[in-house]
Structure 1
Amino acid sequence: MGTMVREVGVAVVAALDAAGYMGSTIGQYRKSIRALERLAQKQGGVYTPGLGADFSAMTTSPRTGKFSAQRRFDYGRLVSLFDSYVLTGTVTLAARKRSGGGYGLQSGEFIALMTAWSDEMEQRGLAVATRGTYGRMARDYLVYLEAVGVTSLNVAGGASVFGFLDSLQGRWAQSAMWSVASSFRPFLKFTRRRDLLDAVGMANARRHHGIVPTLRDADEQLVVRACAEGKVSARDAAITLLALVTGLRACDLIALHLNDIDWRGFTIGIVQAKTGNPLTLPLLPMIAGKLADYVLNERPASGDAHVFLRSAAPHVALADHASIYVVATKMFRAAGVKDVKAGTRALRHNAASKLLRAGTPLPTISAVLGHASPDSTTVYLSMDAEHLRACVLPLPQGAVR
């Protein structure tokens, strides 16, 4: 008799618990295990690698009827643990990235295409963050093609582009679809498939230019006070203050290394992930104090050189932008700030707003925010209400009111 799904599931959950994984994460694993048990009932509840492959291929959400990237990730990571147990007798909890081996693709043609696209982006000298964004969008499209039974780009038509963009609707806000399309176009240009490129244009993903939101002065004071009074961990306080004061991007906060901090000179020196440009920023005493408190007293013991690590096992660098958003949301809640969408974007805009109100020239703000082009800074003019009012012309005498 083979190894039972229930038996392997118990071993997986025990390994996750022993490694200190969060209860919510273990709960998600339990949910996937129950789904695998239901599938295994057809063969007496026995687990085999073949069953695992079938389970991993169940990427369609029963709720929406569409391809689900989250479902694919959850089922895939569980199968990798089950396979490791069946083959070695132990559960291997090595960090597993969402891309997976071979970019998470099965088709040899698609794997070769992704490799060529990665090489092309590197040769063009694109920033690491840009390569990551373009690469993820290309990979997600190819994963979608495999999910609908297409394993060669030669047989993919314009309808596949519409289907792919439609599958993202649940994960992306409508206002963000312009960014999705912009990150998708470079890959389609690389494939030289004009029909696919035209399909993206026909999708009519428009850019939204909303007025950039900022924090009220009272809310900003509440956040700073909460950081100073220790209402959250030193790690979360340091991350929030860095974003609030310096306007650092989430990717740069995640990538910050211990040797990027000049403790004697009270500065931080980095190479920006998005632009590849060097940037040196002053380290205010409060921020330096929170950083020191975190590094000396709170930071888990780890060989990882990144400054900010996961507080729960495995103690590695924070995963992505969502990790920073969770930190900011927790900080705002602890500070009692309501009706404000947390995140480094809001804090970054707030930093720009304060510089504008202080009369700082746009080129200087551009340098502080790390923009590749000063033109990128002009969007922040929309939130400088005081100076915008000064541009309003009075109505001529006798004009209709």
Structure 2
Amino acid sequence: MAKERGDNYYTIELGQAFIGDQSHVVPENTERYHHERTVAYKRCIKLVESYLATGTVDWTPALHCAAFPVESDALRTSFLKFLSELTNRELKPNTIDGYRRFTYYFIEYLEGKGYRSLADVKRGDIAAFISVICSERYQATSLGAHMPGLKLFLSMFGETEPFLPEIPGHLPKKRDILKVYSDDEYNRIIAHLDEAEGLSFRNKAITILAMNTGLRAVDICAVRLRDIDWEHGIIHIVQQKTGRTHDIPLTEAIGNALVDCLLNERPVSDLDFVFLRSVAPHGPLMSHAGIRNILFNVVNDSDIEAKGRSYGTRITRHSTASRMLRNGVPLPVISEALGHGNKDSVMIYITTDNAKLAECTLPLPRGGACHG
């Protein structure tokens, strides 16, 4: 890349261009895109910049966020107590990870200011941290999902509890129009499943489930053989996010895809999971990234342009709801079909359809000016 750009020396701009390079996403590339490779790009640049700054390179494996060592014994003890409290509250794994990550950044911020314990925290530090975290790591619109973790942390200790009022009571919420697949794109993806050579029965079944049910990746991975009620044409699951039971109609397309996967391809295993890894040892397919990569390859091979849209079950879930909405399915029925824990959650899917948005607008008053 440096040669192509005509750069003889490393620059910050070159490093950012390398990290942002998407040439490996091109479908013709047989290696395909995968998350680990993108992480490796960032790791590579980090090593280069570390060497240029210090003259040495730290070759130790990169650790997950919130796993880096906290230098201060007092701060480390406070953080570990917080992690223990999260576990005791039996929160969802994704919630725990989000709270842990966000609060770790707060601990890291305190150490960066030279603080050795929570007793060093001063008025204004919480507000300053929120400002920094918004400029460096998070969008302000995403803080609402993580702020409860910081609130819990601050409330656990007498030194920090007085600073709780510094956390803003109202955070901005992003209200973008959701990105979805059109009816034409949906039909092209489904047609590709029947025409594609070399596409595994497992990946075909996963795609059909995602495109036609709106299931989350974590729920697709968790489907077990005992969940399939062939006699009554239902798949019974317990949603990982909400903990609620959810019944999915076993349509002809889904049933046939599952039969092909189970009878013609699935490795012999004592495991009860429907979808297993294709490479030995054939453990359960448990990775959200794995489902994303399957959908990424199927959609790309269907000649569907990204158009700024992401891949994975997030867009297939939104697309399922949008397709039901365009077909005149009432919002409560869509909410039930997607297994929402909160019935109001379905309202966001109105933003996927301009016609439905137009139906929701109020007419301008006649016969006079509007007064606020």
TM-score range, shorter chain: 0.5 to 0.7
Q: Which residue of 2 aligns with 1:228?
A: 194
Residues 354/323 of structure 1: CA separation in 2 closer, same or farther (3 Å cut): same
Cα pair 1:162 1:199 within 8 Å, conserved = no
Alpha-carbon displacement from aligned partner over 1:87-129 (angstroms, at most 9, x marks no partner): xxxxxxxxxxx589xx77663443233112321x22xxx5555
Residues 236/113 of structure 1: CA separation in 2 closer, same or farther (3 Å cut): same
For the pair 1:323 / 2:290, whether they are aligned, the reply is: yes
**Root-mean-square deviation (Å):** 4.6
Which residue among 264, 269, 272 is the counterpart of 2:239?
A: 272
For the pair 1:263 / 2:251, whether they are aligned, the reply is: no
Q: How many Å separate the matches in 2 of 1:166 and 1:25?
A: 27
Q: Which residue of 2 aligns with 1:213?
A: 179
Which residue among 246, 268, 284 is the counterpart of 2:213?
A: 246
Please state how far the C-alpha of 1:207 moved relative to its aligned partner: 1.8
Cα pair 1:213 1:349 within 8 Å, conserved = yes
Residues 153/396 of structure 1: CA separation in 2 closer, same or farther (3 Å cut): closer
Cα pair 2:236 2:248 within 8 Å, conserved = yes
Which residue among 350, 355, 367 is the counterpart of 2:336?
A: 367
Q: Which residue of 2 aligns with 1:334?
A: 301
Cα pair 1:212 1:383 within 8 Å, conserved = yes
Q: How many Å separate the matches in 1 of 2:183 and 2:318?
A: 13
Cα pair 1:117 1:187 within 8 Å, conserved = no
What amino acid sits opposite 2:355 in the alignment? Answer: E
Please state how far the C-alpha of 1:336 moved relative to its aligned partner: 0.8
Residues 170/253 of structure 1: CA separation in 2 closer, same or farther (3 Å cut): farther
Please state how far the C-alpha of 1:349 moved relative to its aligned partner: 1.1
Residues 225/28 of structure 1: CA separation in 2 closer, same or farther (3 Å cut): closer
Which stretches in structure 1 are left out of the alignment for 5+ residues? 1-21, 36-57, 66-70, 77-97
What amino acid sits opposite 2:62 in the alignment? Answer: Y
SS in 2 for 1:62: helix
Q: Which residue of 2 aligns with 1:8?
A: none
For the pair 1:352 / 2:321, whether they are aligned, the reply is: yes
Query: Matched residues, percent identical?
Result: 30
Please state how far the C-alpha of 1:28 moved relative to its aligned partner: 9.9
Query: What is the TM-score normalised by the length of structure 2?
Result: 0.67
Residues 256/138 of structure 1: CA separation in 2 closer, same or farther (3 Å cut): farther
Cα pair 2:295 2:311 within 8 Å, conserved = yes
For the pair 1:62 / 2:50, whether they are aligned, the reply is: yes
Query: What is the TM-score normalised by the length of structure 1?
Result: 0.63
Please state how far the C-alpha of 1:292 moved relative to its aligned partner: 2.9
What amino acid sits opposite 1:247 in the alignment? Answer: G
Please state how far the C-alpha of 1:304 moved relative to its aligned partner: 4.6
Q: How many Å separate the matches in 1 of 2:328 and 2:156?
A: 44
Residues 318/347 of structure 1: CA separation in 2 closer, same or farther (3 Å cut): same
Q: How many residues align?
A: 324
Alpha-carbon displacement from aligned partner over 1:299-351 (angstroms, at most 9, x marks no partner): 45555543334434664444543333222222210111102432212111111
Please state how far the C-alpha of 1:239 moved relative to its aligned partner: 2.2
Cα pair 2:34 2:293 within 8 Å, conserved = no
Q: Which residue of 2 aligns with 1:389?
A: 358
Q: Which residue of 2 aligns with 1:84?
A: none
Alpha-carbon displacement from aligned partner over 1:118-163 (angstroms, at most 9, x marks no partner): 21x22xxx55554454455445655776788767444456647855
Q: How many Å separate the matches in 2 of 1:186 and 1:292?
A: 47
Q: How many Å separate the matches in 2 of 1:28 and 1:129?
A: 22
Please state how far the C-alpha of 1:388 moved relative to its aligned partner: 3.3
Q: How many Å separate the matches in 2 of 1:31 and 1:391?
A: 45
Q: Which residue of 1 aligns with 2:24?
A: none
Please state how far the C-alpha of 1:224 moved relative to its aligned partner: 1.0
Please state how far the C-alpha of 1:25 moved relative to its aligned partner: 9.8
Q: How many Å separate the matches in 1 of 2:284 and 2:131?
A: 30
For the pair 1:176 / 2:164, whether they are aligned, the reply is: no
Residues 151/60 of structure 1: CA separation in 2 closer, same or farther (3 Å cut): farther
Which stretches in structure 2 are left out of the alignment for 5+ residues? 1-31, 71-75
Please state how far the C-alpha of 1:27 moved relative to its aligned partner: 8.4
Residues 332/112 of structure 1: CA separation in 2 closer, same or farther (3 Å cut): same
Please state how far the C-alpha of 1:393 moved relative to its aligned partner: 6.1
Q: Which residue of 1 aligns with 2:27?
A: none
Cα pair 1:130 1:274 within 8 Å, conserved = no
Q: How many Å separate the matches in 1 of 2:216 and 2:52?
A: 33
Residues 352/201 of structure 1: CA separation in 2 closer, same or farther (3 Å cut): same
Which residue among 60, 75, 79 is the counterpart of 2:62?
A: 75
Q: How many Å separate the matches in 2 of 1:59 and 1:151?
A: 28
Please state how far the C-alpha of 1:208 moved relative to its aligned partner: 0.8
SS in 1 for 2:175: coil
Q: How many Å separate the matches in 2 of 1:376 and 1:33?
A: 38
What amino acid sits opposite 2:203 in the alignment? Answer: D
SS in 2 for 1:279: strand
Q: How many Å separate the matches in 2 of 1:390 and 1:139?
A: 45
Residues 237/199 of structure 1: CA separation in 2 closer, same or farther (3 Å cut): farther
